[in-house]
Amino acid sequence: MSPRVKSVSRSTTEILIPEKLYFRIGEVARLCRLPAYVLRFWETEFPQLKPIKSSTGQRMYRRKDVESVLRIKQLLYEQGFTIPGARQHLRAEVKSDTKQSPLPFPARSNSELKYIRQGLRDILTMLSPRH
The model's pLDDT over 75-103, given as tens digits with 9 standing for 90+, comes to 999 999 999 999 999 988 877 766 555 66
Q: What is the DSSP letter of 1?
A: -
- Return the CATH fold of 12-98: Multidrug-efflux Transporter Regulator; Chain: A; Domain 2 (1.10.1660)
Statement: the pTM of the whole predicted model exceeds 0.85: no
Helix/strand/coil for 61: strand
Q: What is the DSSP letter of 75?
A: I
The model's pLDDT over 28-77, given as tens digits with 9 standing for 90+, comes to 999 999 999 999 999 999 998 999 998 899 999 999 999 999 999 999 99
Q: Would you say residue 131 has pLDDT above 80? A: no
Provide the residue ranges of all domains of the chain, joining segments of one domain with +.
12-98
Q: Would you say residue 4 has pLDDT above 70? A: no
- What band does 18 get if pLDDT is binned at 50, 70 and 90? confident
Contacts of 63 (CB under 8 A, 6+ apart): 17, 20, 21, 23
CB 45 within 8 A of CB 76: no
Backbone φ/ψ region at 33: left (φ over 0), alpha (ψ -120 to 50), beta? left
CB 31 within 8 A of CB 66: yes
